[in-house]
Amino acid sequence: MSFTPLHQHDDDAEREPTDREAFTPGIEPQATWCPGCGDFGVLKALKGAMGDLGYTPEEVLLVTGIGCSGKLSSYFESYGFHSIHGRSLPVARAAKLANPGLEVVAAGGDGDGYGIGGNHFVHTARENHDMTYIVFNNEIFGLTKGQTSPTSPMGHKSKTQPHGSAKAPIRPLSLSLVGGASYVARTAAVNPNQAQEIIKEAIQHDGFAHVDFLTQCPTWNKDAKQYVPYIDVQQSDDYEFDYHDRREASEMMHDVEDALHEGEVLTGRFYHDPDRPSYQEEKRAHGDVPEDSLAERYHDDDYEWERSYDLMDAHK
């Protein structure tokens, strides 16, 4: 069988915007998002960002986890992989290693990403894989009907925590920074313009870009209105800091995470290191990944495959 080469996206090429509606599936998704759900905001921002950047659906692989957030791949037309709870990141980063020409986006919820997938989150950040990771943060387990999540505030009451949670919420921005992510931002479904700009930046960033995306859950977390009003730190004179500076970013994140449950919700870019090489670049520098796309090689009829027989000398 002979294959034509795969479509490879060149990040550096100048591109004309494409029609964002190309990312709308031709099939009506089995409805799981409630009216007023913040997840629609992520979908809109992602479609808009892909269109603005000139992508076509064939060039994108969207890997999702389980939960309401995981259904993003049902609402978004591209190559999709709806995986399992907490495991989107290992699936996504292997696909990117195998075919660097793919634009790989992973998405999941706060339970998916910061709870069950916490181990993968820290290690993917640490390795700084070249991909975008969007975490739908609504501080609740939605699809399982309203249990306390890793981002729920201390004292949060739910059917599984009837006396209120005794756990401090996880600090996803700080965790991401400490883990090694080279781009960390927070945005919110109710800030559509900012959200789209941040997702665009995250996609363009060569490294692990983590976007903590605040998504209100009108069904199970009525307290979601706490997210109003949002302050965009880049638009406000009150929050001056250099988001290229690790220390300043860390301090700012600390304040932001402390303030979240005190009624002040800060969003924006909190850290961006454009100079740290991605994992792919590091591996290439170590001679550990091929210069070209490994996936492409299986499409090349003329490629000379090495054989194990060549290794036999050591055993003779």
Partner 1 sequence: MTGEIVWRIAGGSGDGIDSTSQNFAKALMRSGLHVFTHRHYPSRIRGGHTYVEVRADDQPVRARGDGFNFLLALGDSFARNTKEHAYYGNEQAKPLAENLDDLRDGGVVVYDEGLLDASEIEDFEARAEEHNWHVYPMDLRGMARDQGREVMRNTAGVGVTCALLDYPLEPIEKLMEDRMSGDVLEANLEILEYAAEQANQLDHTHDLRMPQGEHDSEQALVSGSNGIAYGAIDEGCRFVAGYPMTPWTEVFTLLSQHLPDMGGIAEQVEDEIAAAALALGASHAGVKALSGSSGGGFALMSEPLGLAEMTETPLVLVEATRAGPSTGMPTKTEQGDLEHVLYTSQGDSCRVVFAPGNQREAYEQTRQAFELAYDFHLPAVVVYDQKLSGELRNVDADFFDREPNPDLGATLTEEELAEAAHYATGTFERFQHDPQGAPEGVSPRSIPGQADGRYLASGNEHHPTGHISEDPDNRVAQMDRRMRKLAAIRERLDERESNQVRHGAADATVGVMTYGSNQGTVHEAVDRLVEDGHSVASLSVSDLMPFPEADVGEFLDSVETCLVVEMNASGQFRGLVQRELGTHGDILHSLLKYNGEPFEPHEIVEAVEGLGSGDPATAATRYVPAGSD
Name the site residues for partner 1 (rule: CB under 8 A).
1-4, 6-8, 24-27, 29-30, 57-59, 61, 63, 66, 71, 73-74, 77-84, 87, 89-95, 97-99, 101-102, 119-120, 122-123, 283, 287-290, 294-295, 297-299, 303, 305-309, 311-312, 315-316
* CB-nearer residue toward partner 1: 166 or 314: 314
How buried is residue 210: exposed, middle or buried, by Cβ count under 10 Å (0-12/13-18/19+)? buried
Q: Pick the closer one to partner 1 by CB: 8 or 250.
A: 8
215, 67 contact by CB (below 8 A)? no
**For partner 1, which is the closer residue by CB, 43 or 249?**
43
Q: Which is nearer to partner 1, 106 or 249 (CB)?
A: 106
Instruction: Please state, in angstroms and rounded to a whole number, the distance separating the CA atoms of residues 231 and 265.
Output: 6
Would you give the distance in Å from CA 183 to the centre of its chain? 11
Cα-based angle 229, 132, 168 (whole degrees, multiple of 5): 50
Are 165 and 148 spatial neighbours (Cβ–Cβ below 8 Å)? yes
Report residue 151 as tokens. Answer: 């981002």
Question: For partner 1, which is the closer residue by CB, 44 or 284?
Answer: 284
Nearer Cβ to partner 1, position 119 or 160? 119
**Beta carbon of residue 100, minimum distance to partner 1 (angstroms, whole number):** 10
Is 40 in a helix, a strand, or coil? helix
Q: What Rg value do the Cα atoms of the chain yield, rounded?
A: 20
* Distances, alpha carbon 59 to alpha carbons 77, 99, 105, 209, in Å: 11, 11, 11, 18
Least distance (Å) from partner 1 to the CB of residue 76? Answer: 9
Look up residue 5 and give its two tokens: 């080469």
Q: Assess contact for 216 and 136: CB atoms under 8 A.
A: no
Q: Indicate the pairing of strand 103-109 with strand 131-137.
A: parallel
Q: Least distance from C-beta 168 to partner 1, angstroms?
A: 24
Nearer to partner 1, 130 or 257 (CB): 130
Residue 122 · residue 189 · CB < 8 Å: no
